[in-house]
Amino acid sequence: MSSAGSSAPESRDRQCVYWGTKRAADLSAGVFLAAPAALLVGLAAAFGAVMQGRPVLLRQERVGRGGVPFRLLKLRTMTGEPSFGRAYQEEGRLSGPVSAGCPR
């Protein structure tokens, strides 16, 4: 029997062990990090409720794989007021910052 023929099953076994170990590590990390992540999201939601009021979550529809729409929940992080430097009121219209030398 040639050495090339006997190494193919070994290589396949190594791949199975690698992917099985990787899957176990990914699941362990996910379970381990789920509690701290939930705590951070909860704190962000509480902060948003205090600073901006309710509702804290908003539902948004997006286009997914194959053009199939899906809904997701997001934390509401934007306020209705523009922040300084991002947008400002000028002569009755809302516009963004203008750089010198750039035509409108």
Beta strand 69-75 pairing with 88-90 = unpaired
**Residue 103: predicted pLDDT:** 52
Report pLDDT digits (tens) over 44-80.
899 888 888 888 888 999 999 999 999 998 888 776 6
> Please, which residues bridge with residue 103 across strands?
none
pLDDT number for residue 54 = 83
Query: What predicted TM-score, i.e. pTM, was given to this entire model?
Result: 0.51
- The three-class DSSP label of residue 30 is helix
> By three-state DSSP, how is residue 3 classified?
helix
So where are the chain's domains? 9-77
Q: Which two tokens stand for residue 55?
A: 């509702």
Q: What angle do CA 52, 78, 65 make, to 5 degrees?
A: 125
Binned at pLDDT 50, 70 and 90, residue 13 comes out as confident
